[in-house]
Amino acid sequence: MPMQIGLEDLIGMLVSRVEEIGLSSENQKNKFNVMFRVLYKKGLFNEADVIESLKEENKILLELGLIKEMPDEKTIKASAENIMLWIKGDTKEIQSSLEELQKKLQEAAAKQNAPKIDVAPAGVLNELDRLGAGNKKLII
């Protein structure tokens, strides 16, 4: 006998599952953070190791076709620095980085909200010019 389920119940189950996955992911991330801090404090790796691992990771992703090109050295070093800030627990520097990122995002958003100039195709301009020929108006 088939079971019927309402759309609302189905959506509720899906949202519940997504929340569960999110919590599981956060829990796993916290465990990794703790373990990496322990390993770092014991001197088992440093920033150079993180840079090398990032290069290896990107090489694998490139070979699998999951990225189109290798990130440049500057990008890899910036990623390594961010990872190390988190592992070291440097909250002041993390907060500063987040503020800088937010400032850059606001600047980018402001640029997108800037007035735009639309340019009509030549055919439309010629037609407008032809229609306004008696008025001697210049269309730019």
pLDDT for 116-137, tens place per residue? Answer: 667 777 777 777 777 766 666 5
Express as a percent the part of the chain with pLDDT over 90: 59
Kindly report whether the global pTM for this prediction surpasses the value 0.75.
no
Give the mean model confidence (pLDDT) for residues 1-25: 87
pLDDT digits (tens, 9 = 90+) for 57-66: 999 999 999 9
Tokens of 17: 């599952």
45: which 2 tokens? 């790796």
Of 98, 88, 95, which is closest to residue 47 (Cα–Cα)? 88
Reported as type and span, the H/E element at residue 1 is none
The CA radius of gyration of the chain, in Å to the nearest whole number, is 27
Locus of tokens 């990107």:
58
Show me where the domains of the chain are located.
Answer: 12-113
Token pair in block for residue 84: 């190390």
Instruction: Report how far residue 86's alpha carbon sits from residue 93's, in angstroms, rounded to the nearest whole number.
Output: 9
Give start and end residues of each alpha helix (H) in 6-116.
Answer: 7-41, 47-63, 73-88, 91-112
Q: 138 or 33: whose pLDDT is higher?
A: 33
Contacts 24+ apart (CB under 8 A), 68-75: none
Distance CA 26, CA 23 (A): 5
The structure tokens 């150079």 sit at 48
